[in-house]
């Protein structure tokens, strides 16, 4: 059985860890509020650009565009979004399971890793990382989405890949998120079809010119929305994980305190028995 000194030392250690996890929970909660607002506010814009794109694509007939070109899927690319840090529960492992289930089905997949956890996961398993971007998983900016979209468009237009899929975590609530996989390229009509009746638009100078400008903007918007949802999911998972860790630390402190009191009482009882025994021996 551990001594009272060892138990006291462990109690102090657990209390220090509890202070750290409590602080991390508070920081994640403060950041989550802003990330959640950004993720939710981006959805109406994404829905509207889908609606406009569906209207344009439906009104131009058999138009030819590089991002609409459907080719045999000989080589597929995956844009995988994960976190830069750990201590966020099962967030990273869940999205990695979703990505691995897709990547395993391909002979020579192209991997675009966003986040250190995504990059390290595939490197440890011997996959080649063709592109990577790290350091902004908690605070993504639109410039990050624009850079990613441009690299993906270049890869697709140059014929390096035939299809591109996005693997990210869809934010539902601070305690619930779902890994999802969607196709980015080629853009098909079912990918941009909105709900409800479609509005009619007049395009100037032409629907073809608008489509040429709108398709890259659509990709940037979808990627940016995914970055925001992934950020909110990561922060929500971290807040939940750190809250659970803080509660577990409090429970462990209670058990250790009980053990400490038992050890101290046993020591006091033993000392009293020694004193009584010594007194009896002197009689």
Q: Which residues are catalytic?
A: 88
Please count the residues of the chain: 283
Residue with tokens 């009746």, as numbered in its chain: 197
- Cβ pair 253, 18 in contact under 8 A: yes
Nearby residues of 47 by Cβ (< 8 Å), 6 or more positions away: 194
State the DSSP H helix or E strand holding residue 180, giving kind and residue range, or none if neither: strand 176-185
First-to-last CA distance in the chain?
35
Name beta bridge partners: 146.
none
How far, in Å, CA of 48 to CA of 217, rounded?
12
- Cβ pair 4, 263 in contact under 8 A: yes
Give whole-number Cα distances, 223 to 140, 152, 227, 229, 244, in Å.
Answer: 11, 11, 6, 10, 31
CB atoms within 10 A of CB 28: 25
- Cβ pair 129, 123 in contact under 8 A: yes
* Ordered strands of the 129-133 beta sheet: 129-133, 110-114, 76-81, 163-173, 176-185
């Amino acid at each position: 059985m551990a001594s009272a000194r060892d138990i006291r030392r462990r109690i102090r250690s657990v209390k220090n860890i509890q202070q750290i996890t409590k602080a991390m929970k508070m920081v994640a909660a403060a950041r989550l509020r802003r990330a959640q607002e950004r993720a939710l506010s981006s959805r109406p814009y994404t829905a509207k650009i889908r609606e406009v794109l569906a209207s344009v694509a439906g009104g131009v007939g058999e138009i030819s565009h590089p991002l609409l070109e459907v080719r045999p899927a000989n080589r597929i690319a995956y844009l995988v979004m994960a976190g830069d840090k750990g201590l966020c529960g099962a967030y990273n492992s869940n999205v990695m399971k979703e990505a691995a289930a897709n990547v395993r089905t391909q002979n020579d997949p192209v991997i675009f890793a966003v986040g250190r956890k995504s990059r390290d996961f595939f490197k440890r398993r011997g996959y080649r990382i063709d592109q990577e971007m790290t350091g902004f998983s908690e605070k993504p900016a639109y410039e990050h989405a624009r850079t990613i979209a441009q690299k993906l468009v270049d890869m697709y237009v140059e014929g390096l890949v035939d299809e591109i899929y996005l693997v990210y975590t869809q934010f539902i609530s601070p305690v619930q998120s779902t890994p999802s996989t969607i196709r980015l390229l080629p853009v098909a009509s079912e990918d941009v079809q909105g709900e409800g009746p479609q509005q009619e638009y007049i395009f100037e100078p032409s629907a073809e010119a608008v489509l040429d400008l709108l398709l890259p903007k659509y990709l940037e918007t979808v990627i940016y929305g995914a970055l925001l949802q992934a950020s909110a999911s990561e922060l929500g998972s971290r807040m939940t994980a750190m809250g659970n860790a803080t509660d577990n630390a409090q429970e462990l402190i209670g058990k250790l305190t009980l053990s400490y009191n038992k050890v101290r009482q046993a020591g006091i009882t033993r000392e009293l028995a020694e004193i009584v025994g010594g007194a009896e021996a002197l009689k």
